[in-house]
Chain A
Amino acid sequence: MPWPRSHRVRAFSYRLPPIAQPLRHKTKVMSSNNTVWQHPALQRHVVRELDNGHSEVMLLIDGMRCAGCVASLERALVASRGVQRVRINAASQRAHIIWDGTQNSLSALLDCIDRTGYGARPLDARALDDRRREEARDALKRLLVAGFGAMQAMMFATVLYVGAIDEVNATTRELFRWLGFMIATPVVMYSAKPFFSGAVQALRARRLGMDVPVALAIALVYFASLLAALHGEGEVYFDSVSMFVFFLLTGRYLEMRGRHRALDLTDALARLMPDVAQRRMPDGSLHSVPVLELQNGDILAVDSGTVIPADGVVQRGQARVDESMLTGESQPCLRQQGDALLAGSLLLDGPIDMHITRCGSDTTMAGMVSLVERAQAERPRLARVGEDIVARFVMLVLGLASLTALGWLLVAPERAFGAAVAVLVVSCPCAFALAVPAALTRALAVLARNGVLVAKPDAIEALARADHVVFDKTGTLTDGLSLQAVQLAADRTPQTLNQLNPAASEVLALAQALARESRHPVSRAIAAAAGQDAVPVSVEAIKNTPGQGLQAKVNGRLLRLGRASFASPTALPANIDDNALVLADEHQLLAHFHVSERLRPTAAAAVDTLLDQGLSLHIASGDQAHRVADIAARLAISDWSGGQLPADKLARLQQLRQSGACIIAVGDGINDAPVLAGADVSVAMGSGADLARASSDIVLASEDLGQLATARTIAAQSLRVVRQNQRWALAYNLLAIPLAAAGLVPPWLAALGMSASSLGVVLNALRIGRQHKPKTARVQAQVVTA
């Protein structure tokens, strides 16, 4: 497929199906503990031994976005000891490595990739048997043979067409007929084989698909032409039959590419090997084990910054846990001894020991996965309308051809066969067959250039029809926490960030000095607050108390930043509760910080555009009601609900759908996955959870909600083009078939009409998205800074 190469950044901006962390070029996702992959139990799952003693593995690479990434990874891997062969595919974000297992270990290879700044995660060894790759190669070869054949047959046929006027002598005509036969034979026998085998399968299953009539038409035209060549009289249609096969295969090939792209994304997520966990042995030592082998009752040590591998309770220590992906709760929650922990949530500060109560398929997260599977199964499959039309059309044409034959038998029997074949040839199901794939392929490319990745092409149709949008809040409309205001201990009212008095600025600078030492989301919000002149400070003797806060000496003064109950040396004033975020020194409270969620920069504009397009908007969030109300008010969305469990959200969605609504669901978390799977169109944010992306039709890689409105416009345009194409094909056929039935269409005109009508369909599809120039400014900035 030709990608425009006019502009480097533009090309980068749409290469990219994101498997993880799409907007952070070169992210370090995995912790560097790769030695666990030496574990024999894990190796069995991911590495395949080849006959010659080499090993083979398939890796999923996180953060690989462009050609430069591929080049640097390849260079690093090839330079490693024992590596025999590396094949990296940026489109599916996979690396296939064959190396000599006696010289180098898998974990050393993973370390090598880590050092280049990417994260690599081994895939299940079954991912090595890539049936799709075989299918794609096979289809490409058949397509090429048909293409070459069609061109050659055309060339030889031209001699016959010209000869019809110039009276080329009979021997030459004979020669070119047989040349046409020679060229068309591999096209029919090899390229068209999928149609024949499909037809046989369909007949065995006692149904008529698209393949049966198409195979019948190909066979009829081919053998009729062969008969004509044998008799040395009548018309041969070897060029038409080759072209017919070529156009139909083109349509199929385009469709297959779209399907494979979607599967590459979801399949890789499904094959991802679970991480490893640190099991605490009875003697207190730690032992790395695959998550697969965990059992209820095991004691695990979980470190800060890692994902909790199983449901359980805290046994020792306390920590804040980010459960936003699972529950939609925007603020980290404190978990102390005896509190429940959910698999899939992120431990912000630790370490803790946990006691497993449920693991594997019993965890809350696994329950979520099965909810997704159920919702997907219930989802109404958009019928393959295009294929149906082709099948019905070809049946109709076969009917018309036999009618024609019958009609001529009554009038002039010697012309019956020729006229029937002419009807078959001149009628062009190719234009119908290309109408949908050509428009979809073009639409997908245009959308991808705008940072909208469509995983399931069916979504285009639903996107254009949709009339409701259900947004998740945390991570979708908002993208983190930000510092809103600072309230000095002496003041009664908070000061907003852009009008701080000098005293408040000074306090904020101190707090930022402390906050830079922590990765906690709240600390990061404070550290990121802009506008403070860099006061030179020295920070020493830092002490991090998990779940409570930080303590350090700043410019020689002992300061504490954190929960009020932790930081304050004195009793708390009435207006500040335990959980408030405060800064204090040894003697007194200094200030109280107001931190709240930050709207995505594009959210407000996107909401306005979607409202203009006549959609009704809803917010359904798992977060506490007052926080949802706040965000809804800021975006002027009146219809919202908070405290929703995934099942509640799904129930609400189904209720809406029963009233006839067509729904777009937008989300990012694991808790959104069931909703995403149950909606007519599901949109996941590019930085969202793997599960959310896997259960969605569309991924917003650019994280720009405004692109949702653009995508809707492009989808509507694509549907219009499909309909135009189909009408055009119908008009052409209505005109051509009666003429052919009357015996008025010579073979050269039939061939010309067939190719012109197919070309018209493709050219029309290219109009899609002409007015939507991609916005590359953001992506450009990224590529430059990367």
Chain B
Amino acid sequence: MSILLIMIPLSILLVIAGGIAFFWAVNHDQFEDMDSPSLLPMEDAPDALQDQNPPE
């Protein structure tokens, strides 16, 4: 059972790390817009815009 002495602290550390990562993500707007980012890569007309929008 001595393996527990390593595994349990390890699992708790992992939970804490996961929690910290998640808090970071929430604080950095990663959950603000859950809809459009997943679709962004599928947009295929990045050049069309440049004609309409000449650099200033």
Contacts and interface: CB of A to CB of B under 8 A. Distances in A.
* A and B from one complex: yes
Interface in A741-785: none
Q: For the complex of A and B, list the 8 residue pairs with the smallest distance between their C-beta atoms, beginning with the closest.
A: A67-B39, A67-B36, A68-B43, A90-B36, A70-B36, A72-B49, A89-B33, A67-B40
Contacts of B6: none
Interface in A79-116: 79-81, 87-91, 108, 112, 115-116
A90 B19 contact: no
Given A89-B32, A148-B18, A152-B11, A3 B53 contact: no
B43 A152 contact: no
Interface in B21-50: 22-23, 26-27, 29, 31-40, 42-43, 45-46, 49
Interface stretch (A4-12, A355-363, A629-637): A4-12
A76 B49 contact: yes
B4 to A, nearest CB: 8
A152 B45 CA distance: 46
B37 A87 contact: no
Contacts of B4: 172
Interface in A40-76: 66-68, 70-72, 75-76
Interface string A111-144: 0100111000000000000000100010011001
A115 B52 contact: yes
A164 interface: no
Interface string A148-167: 10001001000000000000
Given A141-B23, A148-B18, A148-B19, A87 B39 contact: no
A76 B35 contact: no
Interface of B: 1, 4, 8, 11-12, 15, 18-19, 22-23, 26-27, 29, 31-40, 42-43, 45-46, 49, 52-53, 55-56
A63 to B, nearest CB: 14
A15 B52 contact: no
A254 interface: no
Contacts of A137: 26-27, 31
Nearest to A72: B49
A90 B39 CA distance: 12
B9 to A, nearest CB: 10
Nearest to A152: B15
B45 A68 contact: yes
Interface in A168-207: 172, 179, 182-183
12 contacts: A3-B35, A66-B39, A70-B40, A76-B49, A79-B53, A89-B33, A90-B33, A91-B34, A141-B23, A148-B19, A172-B1, A179-B8
Best-surrounded residue of A72, A75, A80 (most CB of chain B within 10 A): A72
Interface residues of A, number: 41
Contact of A8 (B8, B27, B34, B42): B42
Contacts of A141: 22-23, 26
Contacts of B26: 137, 140-141
A75 B22 CA distance: 28
Nearest to B35: A15
Given A115-B52, A137-B26, A11 B33 contact: no
A1 interface: yes
Contacts of B27: 137
Contacts of A155: 11
A140 B22 CA distance: 10
Contact of A75 (B11, B42, B49): B49
A116 B49 contact: yes
Contact of B31 (A15, A67, A117, A140): A140
B35 A11 contact: yes
A701 interface: no
A116 B40 contact: no
A145 interface: yes
B34 A3 contact: yes
A459 to B, nearest CB: 22
A117 to B, nearest CB: 7
B39 A91 contact: no
A81 B54 CA distance: 12
Interface SS of A by simple majority: helix
A11 B34 CA distance: 12
Interface of A: 1, 3, 5, 8, 11-12, 15, 66-68, 70-72, 75-76, 79-81, 87-91, 108, 112, 115-117, 133, 137, 140-141, 144-145, 148, 152, 155, 172, 179, 182-183
Contacts of A172: 1, 4
Given A8-B39, A67-B42, A152-B15, A91 B49 contact: no
Given A67-B37, A67-B40, A148-B19, 11 more contacts: A5-B39, A11-B38, A15-B36, A66-B36, A67-B36, A67-B43, A90-B33, A112-B56, A116-B53, A148-B18, A179-B8
Contacts of B37: 67
Nearest to A90: B36
B6 to A, nearest CB: 14
A43 B33 CA distance: 28
Contacts of A75: 46, 49
A88 to B, nearest CB: 8
B33 A3 contact: no
Nearest to A138: B26
Contacts of B52: 115-117
Contacts of B19: 144-145, 148
Contacts of A145: 19
B15 A87 contact: no
A87 B37 CA distance: 12
Given A3-B38, A67-B43, A148-B15, A112 B33 contact: no
A405 to B, nearest CB: 35
Contacts of B29: 87
Contacts of A66: 36, 39
